[in-house]
Structure 1
Amino acid sequence: MQQGSFDQSTSRNLSNIDIEHRYRLLIETVQDYAIFMLDPSGNVTSWNPGAQRAKGYSPDEIVGRHFSVFYTDEDIAAGKPAQLLAAAASQGRVEDEGWRVRKDGSRLWANVVITAVHDQDGTLLGFAKITRDMTERRRLEELERASGASALVQQARENEQKRIARELHDDLGQQITALKMTLALHEAEMAQRVRKEGLGLLRSIREIDGQIDAMATSVRRIASDLRPPVLDDLGLEAALEWMAEGFEQRYGVFVRCETRSEPLRLNDVAAISLYRVVQEALTNVARHAQANEVLVTLSADDGHCHLRIHDDGVGLPEGTTPRTDCFGLLGMHERISQLGGVLSVDSSPGRGVTITARVPLSRIMAQG
């Protein structure tokens, strides 16, 4: 052999070794993907750090075992591992996405690509398998779907409450008014005809009249709590003033409303959502705050709507972090989140509680 041919062969062999070394180094460096090889029967023959991180097995624990160990019992019963290998062998490559099982029994949502590996003669040597853990993305998608479903449920509930409020006001309210008018007519007739011994009966009728008045007031209050007509007729600012006045009359706590911007033309979902946040916050004040005064502030600037409810009550104990599942905070967070905004709660002992919501105007303004 000539020296030149020997040098070229050596150089080629060294080049191949260098490429193989770089390839192996690349596989060993990857952490975000599980990359490993299978023999033609599906047994694991190699295992990179990404695979150990994703599935929990060390190389000693998994090399030599069949890759079906990564699949759920349902998929194994359905023959899925064998079907994927058969598809990869016939098509050259197959991709799948679904639940896989880690060493500790927990599940991950994985995107999997299996590629058949052949030699120069076309003989099947095995399979290269690349797995990406998509669990977090799957959870985010599920949360988005749940949030969307929650928004639909809330909207359906608001529509139902609006319908019930209208029926209470229009139907039951009118019947109570008709009953009161009839009773007043009978009272006037009896006052003219009965003798002195019938005056006690007349007083009973007047007591019933007072009870009907109280019933009518309760029906109006219940209907307004379900869906305040002023919100649909005059907007959020007027509805907040109306709510504040009613709250002060019922609980003796002064509520001051301040609007620091031009009246906002909000869409229906935004108006009722912000209204419900204030309503829930005032409910918490009545139940827990022992406050004398509440300030509700609505303003808009730099492309955002700002809602702030502050009370001068006892506040939360030192070191206490308000849990989102307490005091209606979960509902508040959901409503503001569905508007694309952020809600925060701040409190300290003796300095009350401040609830602040910040919502982009682009998400809440009425169209047209």
Structure 2
Amino acid sequence: MESIQPQAYSPFGIPELSGNDGQGSIELLPTAIYSCDANGVITSFNKAAEELWGQKPRLGDTIWCGQVKIFNPDGNEVQPEFCPMAIALKEQRAITGVEIILELTDGKLINVLPTATTVYDALGNFAGTINMLVNISHKKNEELFSELKYKSVSEVLERKVEERTLHLKQSEERYHKMVDEVQDYAILLLDPEGTIVNWNKGAEKIKGYTEKEILGKNFRIFYRDHDRESKLPETLIKQAHDTGRAMHEGWRLRKDGTAFWGSIVITALHDDDNNIIGFSKVTRDLTERKLADEQVAMYAKDIEFRNRQLEEYAYIASHDLQEPLRKIQVFAELLENNITNEGAARRHLDKINMAAKRMTSLIKDVLRYSQLSRADELFAEVDLNTTFEAIKEDFDLLTHQKSVTINHGNLPTIYGIPIQLNQLFSNLLSNAIKFNNGEPIIEIYANELTPEATANYPQLNKLHRYTRISFKDNGEGFDQQYGDQVFKMFKRLSTNPGTGIGLALCKKIVENHSGHIDVVSETGKGTTFTIILPIQNIPDVVL
């Protein structure tokens, strides 16, 4: 014989029971008690339940309703899916106070009062139900004996109808009062076409319409123009019609035209023949939560932006400032060795001063870059001729040592991020010199991209003007099949010293400016980088 006993408590304080042979006080109770899992399969029962049913179910196999037929007190048979236990399992809620009649296997009829209680596991998930069946047949017999004292059966039935009608009316009134008084949720009743037929105080508070103003209007009135154009209200109604329920979160409109972030649930309502007679719609205003989430996302984006800045600061410190610092060191040594030669000493001091000014300028650009919090604040008018001349000055020692020839035409003035454009040209010039075992010849020239040429780059905005800058050298080059890999972080195609970060940073800088960069190369014949940048517009990007 199986017995049930308390095993654990759910987050809602409801005891969960499981079978445990020979133990537990439940076995000793004279009242029939049994438990089911979430699918309605009997998992435990006591002796009183077995005696009430007149047979012993198979644990883990028998469905709760498989033992007996069930009738309403009026004598109509109740299908299993509409019984109190089925409702408790389906809707995951307690069912009490609903009288039913059981027809046992021997044909005997008994009146019982079921009390179905929901059970949850330790994580708060619905686990099943526990049902207690109280046999009230003796009480019903006493009531019948009293009823026979009335003049006729018709009088008894008439009184029962009146009592039931009054009870239903009172229940309906209580329900409507409860719904009407809810303030935190907008609760609406819709007809099958979505017309509003009922409206509670919460709906008036959240949406701003009085009941008189809104009844008879379609619930599409709460949706923004583009949602109505995309048929979102109709889509939600159809989903509720087809599946029984529709859920959605999005911006909704109040009477005064302001928007709020609403979480809605639309549920189909059915009549006794399972025909859809309308829908209930429950809306909750979650604007504060939505704004808080957006604030958190904005903070996260700002942190990401700051982290990228830190990466670039480190690169500037380790790369862009190296050449001016190297010049200061070299000319300081030359000054020390020619301290008695006034002319030479003056020239060396001039070089040191120029390098120091260049470092100061770069450091100021970095500080300005660190103080700005939005990407659009970083953009300014940049004369690329001035930028490139300053970079050539940084590299004049190296270009002299390696006999570098630099040819370039007139470069445009564009809107960009000064410190990043400095990095872009500095990295490209450094690479062109470093990856050349002979005497480097570097050519830089620019021309405006025609609208027809712009169309060849789908990612570019066809309404903007662009400049195309070619950066060509006669260096070592590489196999073109590796053209995409050169822009990947830490990817290096040679054994020359370096981190592999420079060209990856070049690609990122060009993307920050809503531009494009690609490379064409041939082993032993050199490399050409092509950079396309907007001329006038400030790119709409978030770094």
Q: TM-score, normalised by structure 1?
A: 0.53
Match of 1:85 in 2: 237
Q: Tell whether 2:318 aligns with 1:166.
A: yes
User: 1:176 is aligned with what amino acid?
Assistant: I
Corresponding residue for residue 195 of structure 2: 43
The one-letter amino acid paired with 1:106 is T
Residue of 299, 324, 327 corresponding to 1:147: 299
CA distance in 1, matches of 2:352, 2:239: 82
Shift of 1:87: 1.8
The residue correspondences of 1:1-368 to structure 2 (distance < 5 A) are 2=153, 3-188=155-340, 191=341, 201=343, 204-205=346-347, 208=350, 211=353, 215=357, 218=360
Contact 1:168 1:219 in 2 (8 A): no
Task: Give the AA of the match of 1:150.
Answer: D
Partners of 1:114 and 1:129 within 8 A in 2: yes
- Asked whether the equivalents of residues 173 and 216 of structure 1 are also in contact (C-alpha less than 8 Å), the reply is no
Letter of the 1:178 partner, please give it.
Answer: V
User: What is the CA–CA distance in structure 1 between the aligned matches of 2:324 and 2:318, rounded to whole Å?
Assistant: 9
Kept in 2, the 8 Å contact 1:166–1:223? The answer is no
Distance in 1 between the 2:346 and 2:240 partners? 90
Q: How many angstroms does 1:20 deviate by?
A: 0.5
Q: Residue 65 of structure 1: SS of its match in structure 2?
A: coil
Cα distance, 1:28 vs structure 2: 1.0
Q: CA RMSD in A?
A: 3.0
Structure with the larger helix share: 1
8 Å Cα contact 1:165/1:223 also seen in 2: no
Q: CA deviation at 1:8?
A: 2.4
Cα deviations by residue, 1:272-324 (Å, 9 ceiling, x for unpaired)? xxxxxxxxxxxxxxxxxxxxxxxxxxxxxxxxxxxxxxxxxxxxxxxxxxxxx
CA contact (8 A) 1:33 1:51 kept: yes
Aligned-partner Cα distance in 1 for 2:366–2:228:
58
Shift of 1:66: 0.8
Change (3 A) 1:216 1:86: closer
Structure 2 unaligned segments of length 5 or more: list them.
1-151, 369-543
**Percent identical:** 31
Q: 1:216 to 1:186 in 2, by over 3 A?
A: farther
Paired positions, count: 217
> Would the alpha carbon gap of residues 87 and 186 (structure 1) be closer, same or farther in structure 2, given more than 3 Å must change?
same
Q: Does the 8 Å contact 1:187/1:205 carry over to 2?
A: no
1:209 to 1:129, Cα distance in 2 relative to 1, 3 A? closer
Q: Distance in 2 between matches of 1:27 and 1:210?
A: 82
Instruction: Say which SS state the counterpart of residue 209 (structure 2) adopts.
Output: coil
Distance 1:162 1:223, change over 3 A: farther
Alpha-carbon shift at residue 102 of structure 1 (Å): 1.2
Aligned to 2:198, the other structure's residue is in SS state coil
Q: Provide Cα deviations, 1:110-148, integer angstroms capped at 9, x if missing partner.
A: 111111112112333211111111211111111111111
- Distance in 2 between the 1:223 and 1:65 partners? 60
CA separation of 1:6 and 1:151: change in aligned 2, threshold 3 A:
same
Distance apart, 1:206 and its partner CA = 7.6
Letter in 2 for 1:15: H
- Report the secondary structure of 1:129's partner residue: strand
User: How far apart in 2 are the matches of 1:211 and 1:63?
Assistant: 81
8 A Cα contact 2:328 2:356, kept in partner? no
Q: Partners in 2 of 1:155 and 1:180 — Cα distance?
A: 36
Secondary structure in 2 matching 1:45? strand
Q: How far has the Cα of 1:218 moved from its partner?
A: 4.7
Distance of 1:102 and 1:177 partners within structure 2: 69
| Distance change in 2, residues 1:217/1:144 (3 Å) | closer
CA–CA distance in structure 1, aligned partners of residues 250 and 366 of structure 2: 49
Task: From the CA coordinates, give the structure whose radius of gyration is larger.
Answer: 2
Query: What is the CA–CA distance in structure 1 between the aligned matches of 2:357 and 2:307, rounded to whole Å?
Result: 29
Counterpart of 1:208 in structure 2: which amino acid? Answer: D
Rounded Cα–Cα distance in structure 1 between residues aligned with 2:277 and 2:336: 98
Letter in 2 for 1:62: I
Give structure 1 stretches of 5+ with no counterpart. 192-198, 227-368
User: CA 1:66–1:214 in 2, change beyond 3 Å: closer, same or farther?
Assistant: closer
Alpha-carbon distance, 1:76 to partner:
1.0
C-alpha displacement of 1:10: 2.1
Q: 1:4 to 1:102 in 2, by over 3 A?
A: same
Tell me the amino acid that sits aligned with residue 170 of structure 2.
D
Q: 1:145 to 1:10 in 2, by over 3 A?
A: same
Q: State the alpha-carbon separation in 1 of the partners of residues 275 and 351 from structure 2.
A: 98
> Counterparts of 2:180 and 2:163 in 1: how far apart (Å)?
25
Select the structure with the greater relative contact order (CA < 8 A; seq sep ≥ 6): 1
For 1:12 and 1:179, the matched residues in 2 are separated by: 107
- How many Å apart are 1:216 and its aligned residue? 9.0
**Aligned mates of 1:86, 1:18 — CA distance in 2:** 34
Greater strand proportion: 2
Tell whether the 8 Å contact from 1:165 to 1:222 is kept in structure 2 after alignment: no
Residues 152 and 121 of structure 1: CA distance in aligned 2, closer, same or farther (over 3 Å): same
User: Aligned equivalents of 1:120 and 1:224: distance in 2?
Assistant: 74
Determine the C-alpha separation between the residues in 2 that align with 1:213 and 1:39: 80
Aligned mates of 2:221, 2:362 — CA distance in 1: 64
Distance 1:111 1:209, change over 3 A: closer
Are the aligned partners of 1:165 and 1:224 in contact in 2 as well (CA < 8 Å)?
Answer: no
Q: Deviations over 1:312-353 (max 9, x none)?
A: xxxxxxxxxxxxxxxxxxxxxxxxxxxxxxxxxxxxxxxxxx
Judged with a 3 Å threshold, the aligned counterparts in structure 2 of structure 1 residues 220 and 118 are, in CA distance, closer, same or farther, namely closer
Q: Is the 8 A contact 2:263 2:284 kept in 1?
A: yes
In 2: Cα distance, 1:37 partner to 1:89 partner: 14
Q: Distance in 1 between matches of 2:235 and 2:367?
A: 59
CA distance in 2, matches of 1:150, 1:206: 45
